[in-house]
Amino acid sequence: MIQRKQSIFLLLAALLNAGVFYFDLYRTHTIINGADTLGQLRVSDHYPSLLVALVITIVPLVTIFMYGNRKRQMAMSFATIIALLSFISLLLARVGNLGKTVPPPSSGSYWIGAVLPVISLVLVLLAIFGIRKDEKLVKSMDRLR
């Protein structure tokens, strides 16, 4: 049902995933000719990251409205988890490749945009547990009939 707690979890996950378009993923400090310059990794700078970010934002929203078919809703939630894991691995690969740039950054730190998919991953897992709970409830009600 649309008013269940897993719908709230999926909505929060989609909103957090939309935040990766607004916040930086990683910030670097590079010293060029004695001047410290600030660089950042954003989703919009890398086309594959942009596509995966669109998927992780749209799929949870679509999943909310599949409340009539809980098996499909669970499958879409698992697809969201796979997309989130691929987004996180793309981010880690991009950060790992920063050391190969010329000039390499002197220091760097993960920013808010890198934490949002991890929180979203937890929320989607909570939604899956809620969907399973609903499925058990419906099956137990069918046995009583």
The pLDDT, as a whole number, for residue 60 is 95
The pLDDT, as a whole number, for residue 144 is 59
The pLDDT, as a whole number, for residue 21 is 95
Check: pTM over 0.95? Answer yes or no.
no
pLDDT by residue for the chain (145 residues), tens only, comes to 456 889 999 999 999 999 999 999 998 888 888 787 888 889 998 899 999 999 999 999 999 998 888 899 999 999 999 999 999 999 999 988 887 877 778 788 899 999 999 999 999 999 999 999 988 888 887 665 5
Antiparallel, parallel or unpaired: β 107-110 and 26-32:
antiparallel
Length of the chain: 145
The pLDDT, as a whole number, for residue 105 is 83
Residues sharing a CB contact under 8 Å with residue 120, sequence separation 6 or more, in sequence order: 12, 13, 16, 17, 56, 60, 84
What sign does the CA torsion over 30, 54, 18, 88 have? Answer: negative
DSSP result, the chain: -TTSHHHHHHHHHHHHHHGGGTS-SEEEEEEETTEEEEEEE-GGG-HHHHHHHHHHHHHHHHHHTTTT-HHHHHHHHHHHHHHHHHHHHHHHHHHHGGGGSSSPPSEEEE-HHHHHHHHHHHHHHHHHHHHHHHHHHHHHHHHH-
Domain range summary for the chain, segments of one domain joined by +: 5-23+43-100+113-139
The pLDDT, as a whole number, for residue 3 is 62
Greatest alpha-carbon pair distance for the chain in Å reads 78
The pLDDT, as a whole number, for residue 40 is 86
The pLDDT, as a whole number, for residue 109 is 87
